[in-house]
């Protein structure tokens, strides 16, 4: 079968680069168009990411392949869906609000942006966690009269949180969650990004709009599909989101109040077993384990654990009883630009191909 022809919008940014790092030789997807802002339009990709001083600003650890380096970047505002079966978007929310519906009229759009996450007919899709929310795609198509659709992945901080909460909710029921994040610098992208002067030797105690996003999305992701929309999970979620001096990998400290008493070993077992049916689908970007639980009290650490399973597993450690909320507490590390953005979006698309929502 010939591969699904893909356009990547926002290809020059931090999340967009992770798409290009992961897409060479993908068995299902073939990149045929690259889009970005007017600033990059009409340039060869390697020139579009070259700064005024001549530096090629490629941030991914995997190399930029020649095939993509020599592709011309189009102005996303003028790009058409002609010759494209699927669009991945990695642009800021304001641009996504305009671009995504234009493409979704014709073809599926799998997004890393927040623009449509809170619309009642749009799923915030997280593979293995809420597969049944894919059914909302048909509601969206019908309501909007689109041939395609928009499916955003969650905010990068929500990803590790929702993945680790899901097995706990299924096995023991969750009443309350309190989470504090220590988020990496790459999470802010590169335009304008975080100034070195602000972050070196420092912790910034506020990330605009982040806490609201994580609180809202977690309840939607863990909620149930009602036939017409998603009924939020009845879980109280409260977050503090901070920025720390780490390049990649978001660390989170999570306190969970459970409905049913659970021992630490039961919690670890529920997390370790989570998602085995989904893993068995053997989609190209699926890790062997959605959650990796460490018994080492000094793990997880972003530098040591963000790249586990190519950045696609959430690494959990320090699982302990939590006496104040009545439940369990733990630390997690999740790769914000891979599972939390580009590769997470690819995994969504791979599942939607498997489920028949995306095709040629």
DSSP 174-220: EEEEEEEEEE-GGGGTTTT---HHHHTT-EE---TTHHHHHHHHHHH
The contact pattern for ligand NAP, residues 99-118, with x = CB under 6 A and - = no contact, is -------------xxx----
Give me the phi and psi of 334, to 5 degrees please: -135, 135
Q: Is 162 in the site for ligand NAP (CB under 6 A)?
A: no
CB within 8 A of 10, min separation 6: which ones? 16, 35, 36, 76, 89, 90, 91, 92, 95, 112
Segment lying near ligand NAP (by CB under 6 A), choices 88-96, 134-142, 195-203, 323-331: 88-96
CB of 13 or CB of 223, closer to ligand NAP: 13
Q: Is 93 in the site for ligand NAP (CB under 6 A)?
A: yes
**Among residues 76, 87, 214, 235, the one that binds ligand NAP under rule CB under 6 A:** 76
**Among residues 23, 31, 60, 91, the one that binds ligand NAP under rule CB under 6 A:** 91
Active site residue 26: no
Cα–Cα distance between 346 and 242 in angstroms, integer? 27
76, 39 contact by CB (below 8 A)? no
45, 69 contact by CB (below 8 A)? yes
Residue identified by tokens 């990796």 is 292
CB of 14 or CB of 358, closer to ligand NAP: 14
Q: Is 156 in the site for ligand NAP (CB under 6 A)?
A: yes
Q: Is 190 in the site for ligand NAP (CB under 6 A)?
A: yes
Active site residue 250: yes
136, 177 contact by CB (below 8 A)? no
Q: Is 314 in the site for ligand NAP (CB under 6 A)?
A: no
The contact pattern for ligand NAP, residues 262-301, with x = CB under 6 A and - = no contact, is ----------------------------------------
CB of 46 or CB of 93, closer to ligand NAP: 93
Quick one: which of 142, 119, 184, 164 has its CA closest to 318?
164
Q: Is 179 in the site for ligand NAP (CB under 6 A)?
A: no
Q: Is 157 in the site for ligand NAP (CB under 6 A)?
A: no
232, 257 contact by CB (below 8 A)? no
Cα–Cα distance between 149 and 353 in angstroms, integer? 13
**Among residues 4, 7, 15, 178, the one that binds ligand NAP under rule CB under 6 A:** 15
The one catalytic residue among 26, 133, 156, 335: 156
Cα–Cα distance between 242 and 263 in angstroms, integer? 30
CB within 8 A of 145, min separation 6: which ones? none
117, 217 contact by CB (below 8 A)? yes
The one catalytic residue among 26, 239, 241, 250: 250
Segment lying near ligand NAP (by CB under 6 A), choices 31-39, 138-146, 254-262, 282-290: 31-39
Q: Is 209 in the site for ligand NAP (CB under 6 A)?
A: no
Active site residues: 156, 250
Can you give the binding site for ligand NAP, defined by CB under 6 A?
Answer: 10-16, 36-37, 39-40, 76-77, 90-93, 95, 112-114, 156, 186-187, 189-191, 336-337, 340-341
């Amino acid at each position: 079968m010939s591969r699904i022809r893909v356009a990547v919008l926002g290809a020059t940014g931090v999340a967009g680069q992770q798409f290009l790092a992961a897409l060479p030789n993908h068995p299902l997807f073939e990149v045929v168009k690259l889009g970005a802002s007017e600033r990059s339009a009409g340039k060869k990709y390697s020139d579009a990411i070259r700064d005024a001083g001549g530096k090629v600003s490629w941030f991914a650890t995997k190399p930029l392949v020649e095939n993509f380096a020599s592709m011309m970047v189009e102005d996303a505002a003028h790009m058409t869906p002609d010759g494209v079966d699927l669009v991945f978007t990695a642009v800021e929310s304001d641009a996504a609000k305009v671009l995504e519906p234009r493409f979704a009229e014709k073809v599926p759009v799998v997004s890393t942006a927040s623009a449509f996450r809170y619309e009642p007919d749009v799923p915030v899709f997280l593979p293995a966690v809420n597969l049944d929310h894919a059914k909302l795609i048909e509601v969206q198509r019908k309501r909007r009269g689109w041939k395609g659709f928009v499916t955003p992945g969650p905010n990068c901080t929500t990803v590790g949180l929702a993945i680790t909460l899901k097995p706990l909710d299924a096995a023991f029921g969750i009443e309350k969650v309190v989470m504090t994040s220590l988020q990496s610098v790459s999470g802010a992208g590169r335009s304008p990004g975080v100034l070195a002067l602000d972050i070196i030797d420092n912790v910034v105690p506020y990330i605009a709009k982040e806490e609201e996003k994580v609180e809202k999305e977690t309840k939607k992701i863990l909620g149930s599909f009602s036939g017409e929309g998603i009924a939020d999970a009845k879980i109280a979620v409260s977050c503090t989101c901070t920025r720390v001096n780490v390049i990649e990998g978001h660390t989170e400290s999570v306190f969970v109040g459970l409905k049913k008493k659970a021992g630490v070993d039961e919690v670890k077992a529920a997390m370790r077993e989570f998602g085995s049916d989904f893993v068995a689908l053997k989609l190209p970007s699926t890790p062997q384990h959605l959650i990796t639980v460490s018994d080492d009290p000094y793990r997880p650490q972003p530098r040591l654990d963000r790249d586990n399973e190519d950045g696609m597993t959430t690494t959990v450690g320090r699982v302990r009883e939590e006496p104040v909320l009545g439940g369990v507490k733990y630390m997690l590390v999740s790769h914000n630009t891979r599972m939390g953005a580009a590769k997470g979006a690819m995994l969504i698309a791979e599942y939607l191909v498997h489920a028949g929502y995306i095709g040629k």
